[in-house]
Amino acid sequence: MKHARAETGQQAEAVTTVVDKQINDLLGSIAKEETAEPSPKPRPKRLGKGKRERRRVVITGMGAITPLGLTVDEYWQALVEGRSGIANITLCDVTGLTCQIAGEVKGFDPHDYMEYKETRRMA
């Protein structure tokens, strides 16, 4: 049984290495592609004879909570550097599970974003 676990661990490491290489290759090819042209603006709806509705959008903020970072800046920097958020699972015991890799959000404290009562409801 001990030998089977060691073999499974080696297989998981091999899969992780292959997945990391595929992700890095994909990110590298995306980074090399030219930026696409922006899509044309959608036409506003007609309100009546010759009049059109004007829609406005206001961006009031941006946020990101991802395996690559807990802020927009951290996340963007990781994307630019081509880093992967997928790694061996460390936040819980995965002994005996088939999958040993995931995109963990390390350092996330839900109490920084919501009240204690709400975090209990989500758990």
Q: pLDDT tens digits for 6-17?
A: 556 666 677 677
Instruction: Confirm whether 34 is domain-assigned.
Output: no
Higher pLDDT, 120 or 10: 120
Residue 122's pLDDT band (cuts 50, 70, 90): confident
In a domain, 51, yes or no: no
Give the chain's domain count.
1
Distance CA 101, CA 79 (A): 19
For the record, the structure tokens of 33 come out as: 């592609």
- How far is it, in rounded angstroms, from Cα 59 to Cα 20? 34
Cα separation, 14 vs 12, in Å, equals 5
Indicate whether 78 belongs to any domain. Answer: yes
CB 28 within 8 A of CB 82: yes
Please, which residues have CB within 8 angstroms of residue 93's CB and are 6 or more apart in sequence? none
Residue 97 belongs to some domain of the structure: yes
- Asked whether residue 50 is assigned to any structural domain, the reply reads no
Is residue 37 in some structural domain?
A: no
Residue 107 domain-assigned? Answer: yes
* pLDDT value for 73: 94
66, burial (CB in 10 Å: exposed 0-12, middle 13-18, buried 19+): middle
Domain span including residue 71: 2-29+63-122
